[in-house]
Amino acid sequence: MLEEQTKKTKFQLKREATYRQLLDAGMKCFAEKGFASTTIADIVARTGHTNGAFYVHFRTKEQLFLQVLDYQLEITEGWSDVPKAYSPTTTTLEEVIVITLTNLGNKLMGVENWIVALADFYQQTKRDPDILSAFRAKYGQWIAGIENLVRNLQGQGWIEKERDSRLIAMQIIAFNEGYSVISALFGQADHRVLVQGLVKLLR
């Protein structure tokens, strides 16, 4: 009986590892190729697994994408609380933004151009009300994270507390989306532009 339980536990651990490998591969493939151009074959090839392994965990590529959004929230947990460890007396707003973005980038394992993948996913699935509803809810969690970042910056004294944190969060998203699209279009990202733009929005 104990041996059967041990085997079951090992199987569960292997299954969970495969699931996370597929999520990680999906996130990177979608970021590199976009949603429409990424195939299930691309994703499984990156993990060394088979198509069968993919379908054990996901019904469709769309379901994988939505679960990748959950995966991103999981691996980036706490990113918006980074400013709590710093003070305006020793760290400028620009410096704390750089520190926070670096922390977020490290958690995302260097994945960039994700905004472009999000836009592609929306264009491909916008006629499916169930997918659109799920997508909207998950994207809303990212908005909440940015709003939390703004509140932390306010709480530490970098931003006036009277300002509307929700409005600032939406402005940050709009600016970041524009920056990401232009960077992808011209194949060159200048993070100084991103940081300086965010500083102007926040001041």
Residue 59 pLDDT: 96
Q: What is the pLDDT along the chain (203 residues), one digit of tens a residue?
A: 444 445 568 878 889 999 999 999 999 999 999 999 999 999 999 999 999 999 999 999 999 999 999 999 999 999 999 999 999 999 999 999 999 999 999 999 878 778 889 999 999 999 999 999 999 999 899 999 999 999 999 999 999 999 999 999 999 999 998 998 888 888 777 889 999 999 999 99
DSSP letters along 55-76, please?
A: HHH-SSHHHHHHHHHHHHHHHT
Residue 2 pLDDT: 41
Residue 103 pLDDT: 95
Indicate left, alpha or beta for 200 from its phi (over 0: left) and psi (-120 to 50: alpha).
Answer: alpha
CA distances from 155 to 29, 90, 104, 129, 165 (A): 38, 15, 20, 38, 11
| Residue 82 and residue 99 in contact, taking contact as beta carbons nearer than 8 Å | yes
Q: Which of 55, 189, 53 is nearest to 114 (CA)?
A: 189
Residue 7 pLDDT: 58
